Each structure stands twice: as structure tokens, then as C-alpha cells.
Amino acid sequence: MRVGIIGASGYTGSELLRILYKHPEAEVVAASSRRYEGKEIWKLHRFLKGFYDLKFCDTNLKNFENCDVVFTPVPHGEAMQYVPQLLDAGIKVIDISADYRLDRETYEKVYGKKHEGYRKAVYGLTEIHRDEIAKSNLVANPGCYPTATILAAAPLAKLELIEKVIFDCKSGITGAGESPSSFTHYPNLHESIVPYNINKHRHYYEIVQELGRFQRDLEISFTPQVFPGSRGILCTAHVFLRGELSNEELYKIYEDFYKNCYFVRLQDEVSLSQVRGSNFCDIAIFSAGKRVVIVSAIDNLVKGASGQAIQNMNVMFGLDEKTGLDFPPLFP
């Protein structure tokens, strides 16, 4: 597979480059960056010295016309400028912006702008939509928070067991991107936990959309926070059930739901170190009768972005979904 990346200068771009280097069936043949066009990739992403000779190209679609698949890790509002043309040229697209995750109307309301290149896409949470992804040419790769939260609650939502759920999420700061800001300024984050966008983060709508497919009437709260770390999202899901369930019953429900899911692991304890650098989502369950705490952990740049995108690519091209992704995490 010939792979293109539109917008390869950020963390999601470099993470695609990192993982795809070892993918046995894929090769990155074009990677664009408006800002760094003409520069060798490794001169920006110095950790990749020795791995790529490629230079950043511009975003002109001609540079991608030989690709079988293109990833688009660009800011929202920008992907919609490229995606329709790529699809029309017969190229499969895995969008890593937010442009294709929500239905048109919700998107325009939440992101406050007209959608100028709307196409119907499959929501790329692989464990939930694997079959549709296999048949799709356009996959909307989920946000990092939605990945962690939906995987934590889906097994219960599917059985319509939830009364309400509060997702208290803690993310590493790479989720804020590679551009320096007051938010990512070291002294503002070190030794701190910073809640932000409380009750108004856009990822909320993805979570509602996807869990709502399973259970219409559940009540969802979502609080994003950053913690002093680079990678990882830990989601503490406080679930109020409609009836009591023991830890064993809960464990059984999760085991059944994820029985064919290589990348979801049930653990007695979870820790971000256990999943760092990998595509795994580790989940632990703590029951207290009608109230349950589900803790999920992912690497926000892998399962929460580039790794899941490659997992989706594998599914779209009929490969085993773990191809090129079956490496252990980096601990500690």
C-alpha cells in the first residue's frame, strides 16, 4: 500500500511515520506540510534520522495521486478541503481531523462553521464499527477522549444498563499539539492537574453520538483535564447502573464484548505506562453495587490517533487489524 499523509509536521503525523516505518504492507510515499515544504522530514522530526529520506511536499493533490490511502491529520475545517477530491480520485481516506466524525448538522453547530465538503463517513472506532470500516472508503478517525471513554462504557451501554455516567478524563499534554501555548508552557502544567473546557469540550458530541447508538437515554457528563505528562489518557468512568452487578458479572460483560478485540485488554489495574507507545486500551473494573468505576487507559497518540488510524487502514484493506501494530508498549 502506498500511503500519503497530508499534514505530517505535527505529533500525529510523526507518529504515523514512526509506526508505518515498520508496517510490512505499507510505505509512506508522500507527506505534506505547508510550513516545511521542501525540508527533509528527519530534519524536523530529528528522532527519525536514518528512517526517511523523503522531503515534505506541499498539499497539492497531485503529490498524492499515486496513493492507495491518505491520512489527514490536519486541523478541523481543513480536511474538508482535501477529502472529497481524494475520494473522487479513488483514494481511500482516513481523516484524523474532526471534520467527518459528526453528522453534518451537529458538526456545523459544534464547530461553528459551514461544512464545505461533506461526505458520509464511518466512525473509526475499530472495535465498534469494524464491519462498516471494512467496506468504507472514508473513515473518520475518533478523537482521543472519545476513544478512551466509549471503550470504557460501550459494553454496559449496549446492554442498556447505564443510568448515568461521568467521564473524568486526564490527558497528557501532547493532545494539545506541537505549538507552544500558555496551556503547554512547562511551569503552568508541572505539578498540576488542569481542568479545561468544562461542560463545553467538542469531543462530548462524539461520545454522545456513539454511546447513544447503543443506549438512547443515558445521561453523560465529560470533564477533560491535562496532567503533567506527555502521552496518555486515563479515563475514570463513574457509572451509575440501573441495577446491581458484581465484579464478576461486569468482567464477564466486558470479556464478551471485547472477545475478538486484540487491542482491548482487561487488567486488574491499569497504568498509562502499561500502554505507552502502543495501540492498546487497558480497562479495569471496580464495582460497588449499583455504582461502578471503570478505568481505561490509552496512549492518546496511538490508540487515540495514529495507531487507530493504521488499525482502520488494515481493516479497510482486508489485513489483520494488528498488522504493524502488534508491538509491546514501552514500560516504564
Residues 42-71 that bind a copy of itself (CB under 8 A): 45-51
Whether residue 235 lies in the annotated active site: no
* Grid cell locating 235: 479515563
Quote the least distance from Cβ 120 to a copy of itself, whole Å: 31
Report whether 202 contacts 146 (CB < 8 A).
no
Catalytic residue among 57, 67, 144, 235: 144
Q: How many CB atoms lie within 10 A of CB 5?
A: 33
| Shortest CB 331 distance to a copy of itself, Å | 4
The packing angle between helices 144-158 and 126-135, to 10°, is: 100
- Residue 237 CB, shortest distance to a copy of itself, in Å, is 10
Binding to a copy of itself, residues 138-157 (CB under 8 A): none
List the beta strands (DSSP E) in 41-174: 69-72, 92-95, 122-123, 138-140, 162-171
| CB hemisphere CA count around 147 (13 angstroms) | 33
Should residue 234 be labelled a site residue for a copy of itself when binding is judged by CB under 8 A? yes
Please, which residue, 60 or 196, has the CB nearer to a copy of itself? Answer: 196
Considering only 85, 209, 215, 225, the residue that binds a copy of itself (CB under 8 A) is 225
In whole angstroms, the minimum distance from the beta carbon of 306 to a copy of itself comes to 12
Rounded Cα–Cα distance for residues 270 and 147 (Å): 16
Is 186 a binding residue for a copy of itself by CB under 8 A? The answer is yes
**Which residues inside 88-127 make contact with a copy of itself, applying CB under 8 A?**
none
Whole-number Cα distances in Å, 54 to 28, 36, 40, 65: 9, 12, 6, 17
Positions marked catalytic? 144
